[in-house]
Amino acid sequence: MTVQRFRTIEEMGRAPVRVPLEDGFERFLRQCARYWSIAPRVYPVGVFRFRTLAEAQAERDRVTAESLVHSRGGRQRFR
């Protein structure tokens, strides 16, 4: 693979993405695995208020942990 240089962002956007044919599907699978490991699968419904950023982060971690444990099917209820 070679390095490409671009003068503008528009020029970069018009350039074709060069991926060898044998690597395309494996790359897609890696991207899917990365996405599912980062993004929570189920989001709680509603608007929540937190007094501190630490409380908000703790709740986010709890929701993420619960959503990873449950399967993707169906909606999950959060407190």
Sign of CA pseudo-dihedral 54, 56, 59, 63: negative
- Alpha-carbon distances, residue 28 vs 25, 33, 43 (angstroms): 5, 9, 24
pLDDT of residue 74: 45
Q: What is the pTM of this model?
A: 0.37
pLDDT at 76 over 80: no
Q: Per-domain residue ranges for the chain? A: 19-69
* pLDDT for the residue 71: 47
Q: What is the pLDDT of residue 19?
A: 67
Instruction: Give the tens place of pLDDT for each residue, 30-74.
Output: 888 888 777 656 677 888 899 999 999 999 888 878 776 664 444
Tokens of 15: 């350039």
Coil, helix or strand at residue 39: coil
pLDDT for 17 equals 76
